[in-house]
Amino acid sequence: MGRADIAVKNWLNDNGRFADLFNGSVFNGRKIILPDELEDLDRETDILITDKKDRRKGLQRHRDLVKRWRKKVDLAVLACESQDKVHYAMPVRSMLNDSLTYTDQIREIWRQHEKERKRQGSSGRKTAEQKLTQEEYLSRFRKNDRIFPVINLVFYYDLQQWDGAKDLYDMFHLEGELEDREFLQNLIPNYRINLLDAGNVETPKRFHSDLQQIFGMLKCRGDKNAMREYLHQNRQYFERIDVETYQAVREFMHSERVMKDMTNSRKGTRINMCKALEDIYEEGREEGREEGKEIGRREEQLILISNMLRNGMSAEDIKKYAKVTDEMIAEAHREKDQISISETE
C-alpha cells in the first residue's frame, strides 16, 4: 500500500466518516448506519481453494477497509476500496473480493461446526442437529446456515473523472442485434459496483460529517477562484482541520510536493488548509512564470540560429558558438523554409 492509500485509509477509517461515507453513497443520505454499530475486521485473509485433484491454491484478498456492521445482530460486512487511478477491470476485481469474503464466512462457519462436533463427541452426546446429511458434508455448509451480505464501495479520488466500467455488462464484448444482447444478458447475472467519484459528487449535502466540506472542496479543484470562494464560505472548518484530513487532502489535490508532510505532527494539531491551498496556487503561478521564461529563451535562441544560417554559418559552427542542439538547428531550418515559402507565395 502506497503513502497515498495509507493517508486516505487512515482518514476514512474513522467510524463516523466510514458510516457517513456509506450512508451518503449507498443509502442516499439516510442515516442507516451509526458509527457505534461498526467494528474493524481483518482486511487480509488467505483462502485455500482445493481442486478436483486435491491440489490447493492460496487466494489472498487485500481490502483497504473492512468493517462489520452490527445492528442488534450481525447485519452486513462493509468493505471500501480506495483508488487513486481508474481500474478498468474493477467490477471483476470487486466481484472476486466479495466472493472470497463469502467463501471466508462459509469456511469459518464450517470450522465452528467442526469444533462443536468434536466437543459433543468427547462428551459422548450427539444431538440430531449435529448429524450431517451427505449433501451438507459435501457442501461443507449446512442447509440452515446463513452468511452475511457484503456491501462494497469503491472510493475514487483522482483528478480525472472515472471513465471505467461500473458493472460487469460494461466489460462484455457483445456483438449482434440488440435482441441478442438482451437475451444473453438475461442469462448472465450482472455485478454492479458502488462507486463514489470524490471529485464529482453531485450533492455533497447528502453527507453529514466533514465529508460534505471535503467533497464540496474537491468539486472546485480545477477553478482556483471557485476554490477561494468555497474556502471563504467554509473558513470556520478549513482554518482548523485535523492532521488526518490534511494528509488526505494533500493526496486528493496531488500536492505532495507543495503541502508539507504532517504525518509526525503532535496529536490534536490543527492546520490552516486555506493557507496550504493558497501555497499550491502560488506555486502554480511560479511554474507558469518559469515556463514563460523558458519559452522566451528558446525563441531568442531560434532567432539567433536563423540569423547565423542566413549568414552562411555551418551547423557545426552554430553548435560551437551558440551552444545549441541539432534539434534546435533543424527547427530553425524548418521555420526559415516556411518563411521563404510564404514570401514566394
Q: Per-residue pLDDT tens for 148-162?
A: 999 999 999 998 999
Q: Over the chain, what is the mean pLDDT?
A: 81
Backbone angles phi, psi at 121, to 5 degrees: -65, -40
CA dist., res. 117 & res. 284, Å (int): 68
50 beta partners: 56
CA dist., res. 194 & res. 275, Å (int): 34
Is residue 156 located within the same domain as residue 27? yes
For residue 175, give the 3-state DSSP assignment: coil
List of residues 6+ apart from 122 with CB closer than 8 A: none
61 vs 224 pLDDT, higher one = 224
Alpha-carbon Rg for the chain, nearest whole angstrom, is 30
Domain contains 264: no
Chosen domain end from 173, 200, 227: 200
**Cβ pair 212, 170 in contact under 8 A:** no
Residue 33 has pLDDT above 90, yes or no: yes
Residue 187 has pLDDT above 50, yes or no: yes
Residue type, 94: S
CA dist., res. 64 & res. 78, Å (int): 11
For residue 15, the number of C-alpha atoms closer than 13 Å in the C-beta half-sphere is 13
Measure CA 306 to chain center.
50
Number of structural domains the chain divides into:
2
Is residue 10 located within the same domain as residue 141? yes
CA dist., res. 297 & res. 306, Å (int): 14
pTM equals 0.73
CA dist., res. 150 & res. 104, Å (int): 12
Query: Smallest Cα–Cα separation from 152: which of 66, 45, 92?
Result: 66
Is residue 36 located within the same domain as residue 136? yes
Residue recorded with cell 464560505: 233
Domain contains 211: no
Chosen domain end from 180, 200, 220: 200
Domain contains 247: no
Domain contains 242: no
Is residue 52 located within the same domain as residue 161? yes
Domain contains 194: yes
Q: 110-114, 125-129, 189-193, 301-305: lowest mean pLDDT where?
A: 125-129
Q: 5-9, 53-57, 104-108, 168-172: lowest mean pLDDT where?
A: 53-57
**Cβ pair 82, 5 in contact under 8 A:** yes
Is residue 33 located within the same domain as residue 151? yes
Range of the domain at 330: 281-344
Domain contains 266: no
| Rounded average pLDDT over 236-252 | 90
**Cβ pair 90, 193 in contact under 8 A:** yes
Query: Smallest Cα–Cα separation from 276: which of 260, 291, 298?
Result: 260
Is residue 153 located within the same domain as residue 15? yes
For residue 159, give the 3-state DSSP assignment: coil
Element (H, E) at 271: strand 270-271
Is residue 321 located within the same domain as residue 184? no
Residue 68 has pLDDT above 80, yes or no: yes
Is residue 178 located within the same domain as residue 287? no
Is residue 60 located within the same domain as residue 155? yes
Most confident stretch, 19-33, 48-62, 281-295: 19-33
| Rounded average pLDDT over 38-57 | 63
74 beta partners: 70
Is residue 24 located within the same domain as residue 168? yes
Measure CA 325 to chain center.
43
**Cβ pair 270, 286 in contact under 8 A:** no
Domain contains 81: yes
Domain contains 249: no
CA dist., res. 334 & res. 322, Å (int): 18
41 vs 139 pLDDT, higher one = 139
**Cβ pair 199, 218 in contact under 8 A:** yes
Q: 35-39, 43-47, 208-212, 278-282: lowest mean pLDDT where?
A: 43-47
Cβ-based neighbour number of residue 176 at 10 Å = 9
CA dist., res. 106 & res. 146, Å (int): 8
Chosen domain end from 200, 220, 245: 200
pLDDT value, residue 288: 44
The dihedral sign for the CA sequence 12, 16, 22, 24: negative
Is residue 156 located within the same domain as residue 290? no
Backbone angles phi, psi at 255, to 5 degrees: -125, 40
